Amino acid sequence: MKAAIYRKYGPPSVVALGDVPTPSAKAHEVLIRIHATTVSTADWRARSLAMPAGFALFARPVFGLFSPRQPILGTELAGEIVAVGTCVTRFQVGEHVFAFTGAKFGCHAEYRVMPEHGLILQKPANLSFEKAAALCFGGTVALHFLKAKGNIRSGESVLIIGASGCIGSAAVQIARHFGARVTGVCSTANLGLVRRIGANAVIDYAAQDFAVLRQTYDIILDTTGTVPYARCGHLLKPGGRLLIAHGTLATVLGIGGPTRSSGHQCLAGVAKVTVADLQLLADLATSGAFRPVIDRSYPLDRAAEAHAYVDQGHKRGSVVLTVTTTG
């Protein structure tokens, strides 16, 4: 099968189309013909080893000391089941599904094997393969921080830093689903997008510094890793939570966070994903409450170009790789 492969760490040019063996489904696995996948910030970090401050020493032990342990990137996919293992009962050949492989990667290819009871579900019928492929990465991170860590409640006010990105655009819609009043911070070019996906208010960071405004919030979600507590703690209401989706090692360890007497919390870490999370995202997509934002699409053989675009750091929502077409 064809796959976008990288054999060494570096710039987008290290990614090239190549041939690898087509996997086969074992007893409790399904084989998926991939129609679409995405190039995410996780792929960028794994390819380039560009890590938040403090995490650089952990990069090679995680991804491979001398070369990538997993040469095929891609954390999410949508496609069609073309074979099932002898013990599979949950899925049938011909079903359209979406799936999340996370740190196991492997989605930038024509086929991917998934465990039957892994992070895989039927694709919402009202979503294209491209939209379905973009459900998981931003959606699961946003859901984890807003609900599992932030315990978001109806009526609360939420400030989302980086509201037009993959995580941010998902967070705007998910926060609105939970009944929050949402303010999004983004660039001038993305103000209309953030309004359209549900933000009650938007702040253009090129024209205003949100940190000097008088508005306060129950939750601040930083999807960019650029807003430490020292800069925004005064914007939190009593009991307020700063949620850091991309934090430094110091942030994760609680250094520079709020004092106990402040009544605030600073919450960071890695998102934990369950099938229930994917089911909620699918349900929200089916109802129209969550529609993944697609910036642009590239065919698989132009994966290096997609990586180069993601490297610029200004994508709106997700960048999709189309792998095969229906019909």
Assigned token pair, 63: 């991804």
In this structure, are 90 and 125 located in the same domain? yes
Task: Name, in order, each residue with C-beta under 8 angstroms of 290's C-beta and a sequence gap of 6 or more.
Answer: 135, 139, 170, 173, 174, 177, 281, 284
Residue 85 belongs to some domain of the structure: yes
In this structure, are 104 and 163 located in the same domain? no
pLDDT interval class at 199 (50, 70, 90)? very high
Q: How many helices (H) and strands (E) does the chain have?
A: 10, 15
Per residue in 1-60, pLDDT (tens digit) is 999 999 999 999 999 999 999 999 999 999 999 999 999 999 999 999 988 777 777 888
Residue 193 belongs to some domain of the structure: yes
Answer whether 37's CB lies under 8 Å from 107's CB.
yes
Residue 176 belongs to some domain of the structure: yes
In this structure, are 129 and 196 located in the same domain? no
The residue among 24, 32, 28 whose CA lies nearest residue 86 is 28
Lowest mean pLDDT among 31-40, 181-190, 192-201, 226-235: 226-235
Q: What pTM was estimated for this model as a whole?
A: 0.94
Q: Which residue has the tokens 């209401």?
A: 237
Residue 91 belongs to some domain of the structure: yes
Give the pLDDT of residue 326: 43
Range of the domain at 188: 137-267
Whether the pLDDT of residue 324 is over 90: the answer is: no
In this structure, are 160 and 250 located in the same domain? yes
CA 159 distance to own-chain centroid:
18
Other beta carbons within 10 angstroms of residue 289's beta carbon come to 14
Other beta carbons within 10 angstroms of residue 11's beta carbon come to 12
Is the C-alpha dihedral spanning 278, 284, 285, 291 positive or negative?
A: negative
The residue among 37, 168, 193 whose CA lies nearest residue 101 is 37
Residue 281 belongs to some domain of the structure: no
Q: At what angle do helices 166-177 and 136-143 cross, to 10 degrees?
A: 50
Task: Name, in order, each residue with C-beta under 8 angstroms of 245's C-beta and a sequence gap of 6 or more.
Answer: 141, 142, 145, 167, 221, 222, 223, 225, 268, 271
In this structure, are 218 and 251 located in the same domain? yes
In this structure, are 14 and 126 located in the same domain? yes
Q: What is the mean pLDDT of residues 267-278?
A: 91
In this structure, are 125 and 142 located in the same domain? no
Whether the pLDDT of residue 312 is over 80: the answer is: yes
In this structure, are 52 and 144 located in the same domain? no
Paired with 185 in beta bridges are: 161, 203
Q: In the chain, helix, strand, coil percent, each to 5?
A: 30, 30, 40
Residue 210 belongs to some domain of the structure: yes
In this structure, are 72 and 52 located in the same domain? yes
Give the pLDDT of residue 257: 83
Give the pLDDT of residue 308: 97
State the CATH number of the domain containing residue 219: 3.90.180.10
In this structure, are 34 and 111 located in the same domain? yes
In this structure, are 109 and 141 located in the same domain? no
Residue 283 belongs to some domain of the structure: no
Residue 280 belongs to some domain of the structure: no
pLDDT interval class at 327 (50, 70, 90)? very low
Cα–Cα distance for residue pair 261/112, rounded to 1 Å: 50
End-to-end CA distance of the chain: 19
Overall domain count for the chain: 2
In this structure, are 234 and 165 located in the same domain? yes
